[in-house]
Chain A
Amino acid sequence: MAVSAEGDTILMGKSTTGSASLKRRPKTRRSIRIAQIISVIVILGLWQLADNRLFPDYLISSPYNVVRRLFSLLSTVTMWHNIGATAEELALGYLLGVVTGVAFGVGLAYWRVAGATFEPLITIINGIPKIALAPLLLIWFGLGLASKVAIASMTVFFVMFYNSYLGVRSMPSELVEVVKLMGASRSVVLRKVVLPQISTPLVTGLRSAVPFAMIGVIVGEFIAADVGVGYFIRNSSENFDSASVFAGIVVLVLMIIVGTGIISMFERWIMPWRTHEEE
């Protein structure tokens, strides 16, 4: 009782006004934000000025044209059709890659003999630039959805495999020991320690896998497809329509932002202690 001495009251004061101590720096924060906005405006302005002065419009287009093109595209059914196709390939490829990658990663990490056997093989395969396998997957899975899903899930697989394999292998045993010393049963150890501990590297993998899935899908669509944002971009570039190329890239960026946002929400939901750490 007496221990809750001065020291803590002070600390507590700090923690309740924690947001205030963050707000103490809004000046630098705000000036950084302003500098960011200005730099973006300057770059866009230079781009706008360079158009038709330094470079012809069909090469670089201009911010104004890109935005106009973006809005006109988004009012067409075809564009939404493309976006829908890409989103579907992305989601399926991502899910398939995550499930298989985690299953193999965790499985091989716990099953030492198999892990030791397959590790060199998987390292070699991982050394191949995965994109070089894309044409092969197109041969195997055809020109439609399946091949894009296959390419995306393959890139995601390796990200998730390595994250979960190394994550589980490098997990310290101290916390398991502590809980066992308290007399915990196997199931308590599993629920209270092992699963939360595994979830940390897994969720890190989940987040970094989103752009990888997108690369896989887009490459597939570049090589052979008749629908999708990647197909649209390639088609536009063949027509020297750089405004549409840029508009397509903007769409991809927005899709990645949405995807990563969904994963971050999921992360905050299953690991509330982590977001505290990072803030």
Chain B
Amino acid sequence: MSVVRFDNVGQTYEIHKTGHLVQALSDVTFDVAEKEFCAIVGPSGCGKSTLLHLLAGLKTPTSGEVFFRSHKVEAINTAVGYVTQDSRLLPWMTVVDNIRLPLDIRKVARKERDKLVEEWIALVGLEGFESVYPSQLSGGMQKRCSIARTLVYGPDVLLMDEPFAAVDAITRTVLQQILLDLWSNYQKTVLFVTHDLNEALTLADRIIVMTKRPGRIKAQIEVSIQRPRDVFHVAELPEFTKLHRELWDVFRSEIDGSLSQPERGQD
């Protein structure tokens, strides 16, 4: 049964003041199955974040419908955990208070709560920064804090918008492994936006490739690499290389149309 269903979804934004219309999404239809790890890639500005916003119920689509567990999404969808592209930490709360907040909201017992918070602070590598305010963290650290804040309360459907884009390569790999373990141990469904093709191949069961704006679905690629995957070495597998080429060919034809190529002669 599918957890998420986008049915002919279109989204048009009206730019404030000028009244200029921007079509972000057009005729997007796809399903995400229970426990699936689904990656979404596409050029910048093609509407990837918009998709997650619609699913979280922060916006209603201009056309088409979005379903979550066969209910139409019409209000804020509290059943999903959403790691937004910007960190959105509460500036007046320390790192530990930010991460604790969803547990307090869910009235998790104190002992359990403190244990979870401590665990996640360690997992995202923020020990020693517990009582620091977000403004005193680097961008990548803020992002890690916001990842911990969402994962700590264990929502079983996760929306993640380029969660690892701002962190260094080693930390990113470690966080990818943590996410994969979490996903396989706790049977989660993940929608994962990224512009890193390697990351998409490393993590996902299926990759949805979007066209440039207005975003449509250009291709869907099943990632048949066996599980469990070892994120440190998965790129060395021959299937990985083959899929990477396939994915890159799809992706490049999309980019070629939008960027001019000054050095055509070199091809």
Contact = CB atoms under 8 A, between A and B. Distances in A.
Contacts of B133: 272-273, 276-277
Nearest to A173: B58
B77 A193 contact: no
B171 A1 contact: no
A12 B125 CA distance: 11
B14 interface: no
B105 interface: yes
Contacts of A272: 133
A54 interface: no
B203 interface: no
Given A4-B125, A188-B105, A276-B133, A180 B171 contact: no
B92 A3 contact: no
B76 A177 contact: yes
B78 A183 contact: yes
Nearest to B177: A2
B236 interface: no
A276 B105 contact: no
Contacts of A174: 84, 86, 88
A11 B167 CA distance: 14
A171 interface: no
B233 to A, nearest CB: 16
A168 B102 CA distance: 25
Contacts of A11: 138, 141
Interface in B85-129: 86, 88, 90-93, 101-102, 105-106, 122-129
A276 B129 CA distance: 14
B219 interface: no
B168 interface: yes
A7 B172 CA distance: 12
A184 B76 CA distance: 11
B72 to A, nearest CB: 18
Contact of B101 (A4, A5, A15, A179): A179
B255 interface: no
Nearest to B91: A273
Interface in B118-172: 122-129, 132-133, 135-136, 138, 141, 144, 153, 168, 170-171
Given A3-B174, A4-B122, A277-B135, A181 B168 contact: no
Contacts of A7: 168, 170-171
Contacts of B178: 3
Given A3-B124, A5-B125, A183-B105, A175 B90 contact: yes
Interface in A152-210: 174-175, 177-185, 188, 192-193, 196
Nearest to A6: B170
Contacts of B126: 4, 8
A4 to B, nearest CB: 4
A192 B90 contact: yes
Nearest to A193: B90
Interface string A238-279: 000000000000000000000000000000000111001100
Nearest to B106: A183
B56 interface: yes
Given A1-B123, A5-B171, A273-B133, A182 B92 contact: no
Given A8-B127, A272-B133, 15 more contacts: A3-B174, A5-B170, A5-B174, A8-B126, A12-B128, A174-B88, A179-B101, A183-B102, A185-B105, A193-B90, A196-B90, A273-B133, A273-B135, A277-B91, A277-B133
Interface of A: 1-5, 7-8, 11-12, 15, 174-175, 177-185, 188, 192-193, 196, 271-273, 276-277
Lowest 9 CB-CB distances: which A-B pairs, in order?
A3-B125, A4-B125, A182-B102, A196-B92, A183-B78, A273-B133, A273-B92, A277-B135, A3-B174
29 contacts: A1-B122, A2-B174, A3-B124, A3-B171, A3-B175, A4-B127, A8-B125, A8-B129, A8-B141, A11-B138, A15-B129, A15-B132, A174-B84, A174-B88, A177-B76, A178-B82, A178-B84, A179-B101, A181-B80, A182-B78, A183-B102, A185-B105, A188-B105, A196-B90, A271-B92, A273-B92, A276-B135, A277-B133, A277-B135
